[in-house]
Amino acid sequence: MPDPSEVKLLPSANAFVPTPSGEFAKAAVNTNRPVSPGDLVDGQGACAGAAPSGEAGAVDRPLRGVGLDMTECEVVQVYGPAQSTEIGANERGERSVVMTYASADRSGIYRFTGGRLTSIERTGEPPAPARPARSKPAPKRQQPS
């Protein structure tokens, strides 16, 4: 027989509060694990040991989003190689990578410090659709008397 103090009849308030969609991607990121050389991209934006898309052995990308603290290769595994990759060092001597994606659904500048995603700047957002202009009502005809 279960202990009555362990049985909950009502759900907690958290069950009714929606979670932001970005939390799913972040929850899947293990930030406790140090970034290894296998988590870093090369000058062409490719990951070591990853088969380029379209070649034999290439794995379909999982359907998930990108979140802060993901490694460089985790982002490449989700989005594919960037159109532009710049590798350098910041003022503190840490590895700094800027990957630019130009495709419509993920266009932006993704900045990494020490192998982890630190910022995303959206670019090329399509303008909001213009509202159709209201047509003026036709003038009412006067009935002949």
Segment 32-59 shows an average pLDDT of 72
Rg value, the chain, Cα: 25
- Specify the pLDDT at position 97: 96
Q: Is the pLDDT of residue 13 over 50?
A: yes
- Specify the pLDDT at position 22: 47
C-beta of residue 114 within 8 angstroms of C-beta of residue 70:
no
Q: Write out the H or E segment, with its range, that includes residue 77.
A: helix 72-79
Whole-number Å distance between alpha carbons of 137 and 84: 52
Q: Is the pLDDT of residue 4 over 80?
A: no
C-beta of residue 76 within 8 angstroms of C-beta of residue 47:
yes
- One-letter amino acid of 96: S
Bridge partners of 8, per DSSP, are none
Distance of CA 19 to the CA centre of its chain: 16
The domain limits of the chain are: 18-122
In the chain, the percentage of residues whose pLDDT exceeds 70 is: 56
pLDDT tens track for 71-128: 999 999 988 899 999 999 999 999 999 999 987 677 899 999 999 999 999 887 655 5
- Specify the pLDDT at position 100: 93
**Dihedral sign computed on CA atoms, order 58, 61, 66, 70:** negative
- For tokens 């509202």, the residue is 131
C-beta of residue 78 within 8 angstroms of C-beta of residue 61:
yes
Strands, E assignment, 33-143 = 84-89, 95-101, 108-113, 116-122
- Specify the pLDDT at position 139: 72
| pTM of the predicted model as reported, rounded to 2 decimal places | 0.59
Give the Cα-Cα-Cα angle 40, 45, 46 (nearest 5 degrees). 70
- Specify the pLDDT at position 75: 92
